Amino acid sequence: MSSNAPASDILSGAISNTLETINATKCVHLQKENFKKLASYLEKTASILQQLTKLNFNDSAALKTAINALTKHVSEAKTLAFECTTRNKIYLLLNSKTIVTTLEKNTKDLGGALTLLAPLFSFNGVGQEIIKLSNIMTDSKYRTRPVEDEIKEKIQLGIRERNADRSFTNNLLVLIADAIGISTEQSVLRTEYEEFKNEMENMEMTADVAESLQIEQIVGLLGKADILATVKERENKYFSKRNSLGRQPLEALQSFYCPITGDVMEDPVETPSGHSFERGAIEKWLAEENSLCPVTKTPLKTSALRTNKTLRQSIEEWRDRNTMIVIGSMKSRILSNEDEEVIICLGKLQDLLLERDLHQEWVMMEDYLPVLVSLLSTKNFQIRSRVLVILRILATNHDDRKVRDGRVGLCLNNKHFFSFIIY
């Protein structure tokens, strides 16, 4: 409002603006407790402004200056509340620290502006109450929730370690859903994620390179959660990739092997000279008073080791490719009449299922269930026992896997065997 406007009009506008901001704080998606705290300060501020209307200041320049300063910061609070109402919930969650920092600054600014009003009430004691409120607001602290900090730590871990494991990203997305107060139903999660993705893509156009990379990494990490897709979509994605592969597993590249252990690496780290080792192996090597690189024989410190993300991803892709080929080709061998061959294959299948949850889903997509059930009628006790163990693995905590060609219920009876009921 113009500084030439009457003081009464400026005051009236300030009261309306403050009340609107209080209402805006009640609509935020996240940080509800923090905004509730801000609203309590604004309510006290509005009360002070209401008391001013009962006094006669004419067109006091001091009053106008104080009210305009206060209105500026109240408007900033309203803008923040509006953003926390309209922006995507995942975005708001990931920016909780920034929101809290902004709230603290805004509250301090409001407290500072209030001190300008104190002299106007010096004659009736209200000025001291204003000073007290101002001090409280200036010292006010806001806090993020522990779950918000936990989620951001997990995201950074996922980005840093390139953790694309199915259970990691799924659990992360469920944790996010609980934190922002939405259902974990697939369609709801997908809608919220797509909104987040679109909002982040628009932000990338105005962000600097480092920020754009961080945004892309977060969107990519969350997008790996397969609970965002329907069962049919996951099947289509799986078979599209599997059908593009050859029939025989590929040998590991020489660069996949650790020079110390001779095994394919799980967590490769790189030295300044460009050589990679299994993290545990090279750390043990250096801890045993070997201060030289095993390959170059040059001085090497543990602090100089860096995760080789590119190599780790290549190894993971190689493993996934070979596992897909093995799972896709092993079913015919399990159907053979060679008991020894069947037992070996079932043992390998069990190991794969225990290795990763994702492998369990691939086995179900390859329609192993009818094959496994058919083996329960075999006379070979060892085969039956292995099949029962595998079926229990597939059934545990995966209700969606029971919905294939009718519902297959699995239960363990007193003799520790499964009974199967199609219902």
**Mean pLDDT calculated for residue range 366-370:** 92
Helix, strand counts (H, E) of the chain: 17, 5
Q: How far apart are CA 184 and CA 216, in angstroms?
A: 23
Paired residues of 421 in beta bridges: 409
Token pair for residue 113? 């502006």
SS3 content of the chain, % helix, strand, coil (to 5): 65, 5, 25
Q: What is the pLDDT of residue 417?
A: 44
Q: How far apart are CA 168 and CA 170, in angstroms?
A: 6
pLDDT at 41 over 80: yes
Q: What is the pLDDT of residue 205?
A: 53
Q: How far apart are CA 88 and CA 90, in angstroms?
A: 6
Token pair for residue 355? 């290795």
Chain mean position to CA 88: 14
Asked whether 118 and 127 are in contact (CB, 8 A), the reply is: yes
Q: What is the pLDDT of residue 5?
A: 72
Q: Long-range contacts of range 41-46, CB-CB < 8 Å, 24 or more positions apart?
A: 41/107, 41/110, 41/133, 41/136, 41/137, 41/140, 42/18, 42/74, 42/77, 42/110, 44/133, 45/18, 45/70, 45/74, 45/110, 45/114, 45/133, 46/15, 46/18, 46/19, 46/22
Asked whether 349 and 390 are in contact (CB, 8 A), the reply is: yes
**Mean pLDDT calculated for residue range 248-260:** 94
Q: What is the pLDDT of residue 8?
A: 81
pLDDT at 163 over 70: no
Per mean pLDDT, which range of 22-26, 49-53, 342-346 is the poorest? 49-53
pLDDT at 89 over 90: yes
Q: Does the pTM exceed 0.85?
A: no
**Mean pLDDT calculated for residue range 368-396:** 92
Per mean pLDDT, which range of 139-148, 169-178, 247-256, 409-418 is the poorest? 409-418
pLDDT at 399 over 90: no
Share of the chain above pLDDT 90, in %: 58
Q: What is the pLDDT of residue 62?
A: 82
Asked whether 25 and 82 are in contact (CB, 8 A), the reply is: no
- Site of tokens 């065997």: 417
pLDDT at 137 over 60: yes
pLDDT at 363 over 70: yes
Q: Which SS3 state, helix, strand or coil, does residue 420 take?
A: strand
At 175-193, the pLDDT tens digits run 999 999 999 998 999 999 9
pLDDT at 401 over 70: no
- Read off the DSSP letter of residue 411: E
pLDDT at 151 over 60: yes
Torsion of the alpha carbons at 232, 238, 239 and 245, rounded to the nearest 10: 170
Q: What is the pLDDT of residue 82?
A: 96
- Site of tokens 């996240």: 30
- Choose between 249 and 78: higher pLDDT: 78
pLDDT at 384 over 90: yes
Q: What is the pLDDT of residue 173?
A: 94
Q: What is the pLDDT of residue 59?
A: 62
Q: What is the pLDDT of residue 213?
A: 62
At 11, the pLDDT band (50, 70, 90 cuts) reads: confident
- Site of tokens 């067109």: 59
Q: How far apart are CA 2 and CA 128, in angstroms?
A: 30
Mean pLDDT for all residues in the chain:
86
At 52-83, the pLDDT tens digits run 888 776 667 888 888 999 999 999 999 999 99
- Please count the residues of the chain: 423
User: Residue 206, exposed/middle/buried by CB under 10 A (0-12, 13-18, 19+)?
Assistant: exposed
Q: At what angle do helices 381-395 and 339-355 cross, to 10 degrees?
A: 20
Query: Who contacts 38 (Cβ-Cβ below 8 Å, separation ≥6)?
Result: 25, 77, 103, 106, 107
At 214-235, the pLDDT tens digits run 788 888 889 888 888 888 888 8
**Mean pLDDT calculated for residue range 333-350:** 92
Torsion over CA: 240, 244, 250, 252 (sign): negative
Q: Please, what is the Cα angle at 217 between 212 and 219, to 5 degrees?
A: 95
Asked whether 52 and 45 are in contact (CB, 8 A), the reply is: no
Q: What is the pLDDT of residue 371?
A: 92
- Choose between 102 and 210: higher pLDDT: 102
**Mean pLDDT calculated for residue range 371-375:** 92
Asked whether 167 and 188 are in contact (CB, 8 A), the reply is: no
pLDDT at 39 over 80: yes
At 398, the pLDDT band (50, 70, 90 cuts) reads: low
At 112, the pLDDT band (50, 70, 90 cuts) reads: very high
Q: What is the pLDDT of residue 403?
A: 42
**Mean pLDDT calculated for residue range 391-397:** 83
Write phi, then psi, for 277 (nearest 5 degrees): -140, 160
Token pair for residue 106? 């805004």
pLDDT at 197 over 70: yes
Q: How far apart are CA 60 and CA 156, in angstroms?
A: 54
Strand runs labelled E in 150-239: none
pLDDT at 402 over 60: no
